[in-house]
Amino acid sequence: MNKLTSVVLAAMLVIPAAQASAAQEKQNPVQAKARELASKIVADYGVSGMQYAIMDKGNITLSGGAGFYDTVTKAPITKDTMFGIGSVSKMYVSAATMILAEDKVIDIDKPLITYLPQFKMADERYKEITPRMLMNHSSGLYGSHYGNSILLDDNDTQNHDEMLSRMASERLKSDPGEYSVYCNDGFQLLELMIEQVSGISYSEFLDRHFSSPMKVSSTKTPLDSFDRQQLAKTYFPSLKPALPAENANILGAGGLYSTAEDLTKFAEVLNGNYPDILSKASAEAMRQPEYKNGIWVPEERNSFNYGLGWDAVDLAPFGDYGIKALTKGGDTIMYHAALTTLPESDISIAVLSSGGSSVYNTVFASQVLLEYLKDTGKIQKIQPDQTFTPPVKAAMPAEMQSYSGLYGTVGATLPITVKGGELTLPVLAGLIPAQKYVYTGKGQFKNSDGSAAVSFEKQKNGITYLKLDAHLNIPGIGQMPMVTYEYQKLEANPLNASTKQAWEKRNGKHYYAVDEKISSLFYLSPSILTKTIAVEQGYATGTKIVDGNTAVNAAEIPVMNGRDAFDLNFSTKNGQEYLTIDGNDYISEDAVKPLYGGRASISTVPASGQAVWMKLDKKSAGRTMTVTAPSTGGYAVYDADGVIVSHSMVGKDPSVVLPQGGMAVFGGKAGDVFKIHLQ
């Protein structure tokens, strides 16, 4: 993990005055645990600032922070510092949907088109999608329309405004209700439905039904008016200055800002303690095991088991203590969040950070909550983390070799060879390194330290999945159990000669997004803006090739790894090849020209308004580029590894030394002219 800062700031504890004298000594073990973990995360896990709070039966009993609000001034995080909460926002749109159901405005089990008749798709099954399916991730939608959604100091509503028109030409990846797999678009549709039936904006709905009756003032959307200086500053590793404010303009799916204390108060609503806002019956309905309605991994002890909005309605390891725990995590580009609540005890914790990951925040929340439960006498002791031993290789039945073949997930294919009681796999779950797994019996293969086991499982839909059953060990923070389907076995897809030749010409080529606004945070780490075509056995970048210019999603993977699916569609415009995904164009690397190597040149945004990419070759590399940019435009520069070295919206220096083999991109409004000078 990259270290963003080596500075560790002791966390601050804020206890209500009425409790201070009595609680100070009592809370010390919890305070110490929170400080220890927060300091570790800030020091070692790319976090500049962190905030946390516990609410117990309506009272804040712990509130603190670590790191800095601003790393230059060394201003600390306070309880009033606001953060983006990412997908924790889904709990608000889910609760809002349940409020409408309570008021008999909607029925969550009637088709969505009953309330949002503008919603249409090129797949008749869309008529079966209900609000419940949107909340429990079982709608069958591809997943996420990310285009122009997360922007620097820009609250453009283009993503919201174009959502329905973009979906009108799209298909589903599975039957509605067949299985649950994480899906952002479902919550965007709920936002649109709420606006449709309420007759007011979603931001106004949130204020009217949540913030005002709860008497909270720090839960906002990018469209609200508030002091942006309250937002914790964010930092990107390869850029020195603080970034402009991050606006996640996908409000239902992940666009809210809040504080840890505000979030724990909202958890009171989700626990049914504000019946004038949300009834206990609705709160109880939201925590039911919705994941069991479709195909799912059979293991019960997990960090994923969806309810309505909730990531988990039986979060491990709390079940080991006979305690029901609910959790929701959230990530934007720069902000990360976790909200965990114990509804039967009415105790909640919220953890927010600038940098890092919701995984770290969720593990932090679990560790501190367990300490709190022990300190308050609700559990006797904290069970130690699971320990593991290196695997002992067993004789593998010959029939296990039949699982060899081509496997796929969203965006990738993977040939798996099961031979000699071994198989080799790439990075799994984002944290388990690529390594060899050995057969240990009972159909399982284990990794080198025994903490992760993989097996093959054929589900009732006829698909064979590679299942991962692992404990993610995050050094210095804790452990997270996780059971998921990582890959699915793909069927043979032979191609005719002409189709095969068309795709072989694209194999290994890069395509660059041209429809994304230059204010998009995706330009900071452009993996979403760059598609590399990898062709293997009739599949391309995880999609199934249909003809010379089309490949369609092949992934039908429950839980998490089937999310954010896409199709590939190629076309030629003005002699240049373009790739279209979700209605957004990507230009072939073959059409990207080198930056002019002379002393002065210009770059003009074309009439289409699409961004202009340029290669940095030997003629421009090593020279200092100075750009005079229009107020409506901007540019970014990357090195040969795709790491950003300069962005005109971050910092005030208009000059940058150009790296060999890198790229530059210029974007703005149609007709914008950039004056480029090289020295």
For residue 138, the SS3 value is coil
Strand pairing class (530-532; 510-513): antiparallel
Give percent above pLDDT 70 in the chain.
96
The beta strand positions in 262-421, using DSSP E, are: 326-331, 335-342, 347-355, 405-409, 412-416
Q: Express each pLDDT in 565-599 by its tens digit.
A: 999 999 999 999 999 999 999 999 999 999 999 99
d(CA 232, CA 218): 13
Q: Express each pLDDT in 657-670 by its tens digit.
A: 999 999 999 999 99
Confidence (pLDDT) at 13:
26
pLDDT reading at 11 higher than 50: no
Q: Express each pLDDT in 326-358 by its tens digit.
A: 999 999 999 999 999 999 999 999 999 999 999
pLDDT reading at 105 higher than 50: yes
For residue 205, the SS3 value is helix
Confidence (pLDDT) at 653:
86
Q: Express each pLDDT in 399-409 by its tens digit.
A: 999 999 999 99
Average pLDDT, the chain: 94
d(CA 342, CA 379): 13
pLDDT band for 25, please (50, 70, 90 cuts): very low
Pick the closest to residue 257 from 220, 211, 203 (CA basis): 220
pLDDT, mean of residues 238-254: 96
pLDDT, mean of residues 372-401: 96
Q: Is the dihedral of CA 305, 306, 311, 315 positive or negative?
A: negative
Confidence (pLDDT) at 209:
98
Q: Do the beta carbons of residue 365 and residue 340 sit within 8 Å?
A: yes
pLDDT band for 188, please (50, 70, 90 cuts): very high
Q: Express each pLDDT in 33-90 by its tens digit.
A: 999 999 999 999 999 999 999 999 999 999 999 999 999 999 999 999 999 999 999 9
pLDDT, mean of residues 186-191: 98
Confidence (pLDDT) at 151:
98
Confidence (pLDDT) at 9:
25
Q: Express each pLDDT in 272-328 by its tens digit.
A: 999 999 999 999 999 999 999 999 999 999 999 999 999 999 999 999 999 999 999
d(CA 239, CA 646): 7
pLDDT band for 24, please (50, 70, 90 cuts): very low
Give residue for tokens 């919890």: 30
Give residue for tokens 């949540």: 210
Q: Do the beta carbons of residue 122 and residue 170 sit within 8 Å?
A: yes
pLDDT band for 172, please (50, 70, 90 cuts): very high
Confidence (pLDDT) at 8:
24
Query: What's the per-residue H, E or C state across 615-639?
Result: ECCCCCCCCEEEEECCCCCEEEEEC
Q: Do the beta carbons of residue 468 and residue 303 sit within 8 Å?
A: no
pLDDT reading at 448 higher than 70: yes
